[in-house]
Amino acid sequence: MNTARLLQWYDQNARDLPWRVSPADIRLGKKPDPYRVWLSEIMLQQTTVGVVKNYYIRFLQYWPNVHKLAAAPLEEVLKLWAGLGYYARATNLHACANVVSTQFDGIFPTDNLSLQQLPGIGPYTGAAISAICFDQKVAVVDGNVERVSARLTALQIPPREVKKEICKFIQNHVPTRAGDFAQAIMDLGATVCTPGIPQCGICPLKSGCAGFASGNPATFPIRAKKKKRPHRYGHAFVVQRRGEQVFLQKRGSKGLLAKMSEVPNSSWDEKQSKVIFPTSGNWTAAGTVVHIFTHFRLELEVWYLMDCDGMPDHVGWWVAPQSLEGEALPSLFKKVIAKVISF
Ligand code: SF4
C-alpha cells in the first residue's frame, strides 16, 4: 500500500467531521480532543456518520467535557441517546466518563491497552483513540478498512474470518502520521472504495491494488454466508389515561435495552403466546410492529386501551404525547406507540 500517496490524498480530501481535527490543523500543531474522539467513536459503532452527527452535537452542548458527562444522571444520558440503538453503549459511556473523571482526573490514557481497561472500550475503539489522538502506531480496523484491505489484496476469504491477518496487514503499513493514516483509510472506504462500485479511477491506491488489477474489484470482499435470523413474538400495550397521557415504565437493569423506557409488554418468545392484558378494559388491536435486532427479528402485536383509570399493578409514569420525544424510548417502542398516537 502506498501510504504516502494515501496521506497526500487525505490532505486534500479529508471529510469535514465535527469531532475531527483536519490534517492542515494537525500540521499547525492542533491536537484532537480525546473526549470528543472517544464520544464519536462510541456513537459510531454499528451506525453511520450521518446518523451520529446530530447526536454528537447535542451531547457536546449538554456535556462539553468528561467531568460534565460523568456528573450527569444516567437517565439524562439515556434520554439523549434514545434512537441511536445498542443502549448498553450509553450505560458504558456514562460509566467510562465516571472512571476517567474520578480516577484519571479527566485525562484519557494514551495507549491502546490502558484504554481497553475502561468500560465500553474494546480493541477497535482503544486503537482508534490512541492512533487519532496520540499518533500511536496501531492498526485501526473498522468495516471500511476491512473492505479496502480485502480489495487491495483481492482477499479470497470473507474478512470476518481473517480479522487478525487484516489487522497485521494494516499494522505493517502504519506510518508516523498514524492518526491521519487511520482516518485516511476510513475516509477512502467511505467515499471512494465504497461498498457498491468502487471509484478506482480517482483512487490514490489504484496502482498497487490487486482488486483493481483483477478487473472486478466490486466482487471483493467475498461475503460470508448469512445466518438466518431467528424470529420472536410478543404483545405490547399502549395505555392512555383520559385519551391523552401514555403509560410508560422502566425496563430492568440487565439485558437488551436495559434501563430504557417502554410500554408494558409480554415476554418475547419463539411462538406467539396468548395475550394477557396488563389491566382490564376495552382493548383494541392496533396492528403489528416488526423490529430487527442484531440477533433476532421481533414481531409485536400492539394493543390499545384508550380510557384507563390507572395501572395499579405497574410501577411507571404517565406522559403527555407531546413529551414522548424527551423520554428514553428505544426505536422499537416509538414504533409501537406510533401505531396508536402521532408524536
Ligand atoms: Fe478500492 Fe479501487 Fe482503490 Fe482498489 S483501486 S482500493 S478497489 S477504490
> What distance in angstroms lies between residue 211's CA and the mean position of ligand 1's atoms?
7
Give the 3-state secondary structure percentages of the chain, helix then strand then coil, rounded to 5: 45, 10, 45
Task: Please report the pLDDT score of residue 169 as a whole number.
Answer: 96
Q: Could you tell me the pLDDT band of residue 309, with boundaries at 50, 70 and 90?
A: confident
pLDDT of residue 52: 93
The stretches of the chain forming alpha helices (DSSP H) are 3-13, 23-27, 34-44, 49-62, 66-71, 74-81, 88-103, 112-115, 123-134, 143-152, 163-171, 178-191, 210-213, 331-338
252 CA → ligand 1 middle, Å: 47
Expressed in angstroms, the distance from the first to the final Cα of the chain is: 51
**Is-catalytic flag, 41?**
yes
Query: What confidence tier does 86 reach under pLDDT thresholds 50, 70, 90?
Result: confident
Element (H, E) at 241: strand 231-241
pLDDT tens, 11-58?
A: 999 999 999 999 999 999 999 999 999 999 999 988 889 999 999 999
DSSP state for residue 303 in the 8-state scheme: E
Residue 243 has pLDDT above 80, yes or no: no
3-class DSSP state of 270: coil
pLDDT surpassing 90 at residue 166: yes
The predicted pLDDT at position 335 comes to 96
pLDDT for residue 294 is more than 90: no
Contacts of 297 (CB under 8 A, 6+ apart): 229, 230, 231, 232, 290, 291
The residue contributing the CA closest to ligand 1 atom 1 is 193
Q: In angstroms, what is the span from residue 170 Cα to ligand 1's centroid?
A: 15
| Burial degree of 342 (CB within 10 A; 0-12, 13-18, 19+) | exposed
Residue that has been written with the C-alpha cell 500540521 in this structure: 27
Confidence class of residue 253 from pLDDT cuts 50, 70 and 90?
confident
Distance CA 84, CA 60 (A): 16
pLDDT band at 69 (very low <50, low <70, confident <90, very high): very high
Q: Which residue did the predictor score with more confidence, 226 or 317?
A: 317
Whether the per-residue pLDDT at 234 is higher than 90: the answer is yes
CA angle, 261 as apex, 58 and 343 as ends, to 5°?
70
Residue ranges lining ligand 1, Cβ < 6 Å: 148, 151-152, 192-193, 198-200, 203, 205-206, 209, 211-212, 217
- The model's confidence at residue 62, banded by pLDDT at 50, 70 and 90, is very high
Whether cis (ω within 30° of 0) applies to the bond prior to 221 is yes
Strand 284-292 to 317-319 pairing: unpaired
